Amino acid sequence: MTIKIEDIKNKLEKATLALASVDENSKPHNIAVMYAKVYDGKIIITNNFMKKTIENIKINNLVSLVFWEGEEGWRIDGEAEYFDSGRWLDFVKKMKENQGLPARGAIVVNISNISKLCG
């Protein structure tokens, strides 16, 4: 069964996600993301205080996200792009969750695969 992002959109947008990236030496780096949005089939994540994750995405754009709701979990793999100006920056600056936060940029994840982890 193929899982579409629309099928898990509401769960993803309520969850805290783990976002994994890798550096130039293939060393993994993982952070928690509180607010992600699904828009136009992509996952949009705000950069409020990220440094290493942004550096990694510029070197290797492959990322993986994991989140859980109860006993069900999902992994989303994709390619990330970072934007510190333009349409996607405007998008994250307008998110109510980012009020009072710097919203320095946006990570846009183009999804290549969604897997259910269990449940």
Report all structural domains of the chain as residue ranges with CATH numbers, in order of start: 5-118 (2.30.110.10)
First to last CA, the chain: 14
Percentage of the chain beyond pLDDT 90 is 97
Task: Name the pTM for this structure.
Answer: 0.95
What is the predicted pLDDT for the residue at 89?
97
* pLDDT band at residue 118 using 50, 70 and 90 as cut-offs: confident
Question: What are the CA-CA distances from residue 60 to residues 22, 51, 90, 99 (Å)?
Answer: 7, 14, 24, 30
pLDDT value at residue 119? 60
Q: How many other β-carbons are positioned within 10 Å of the β-carbon of residue 114?
A: 18
Segment 97-118 shows an average pLDDT of 96
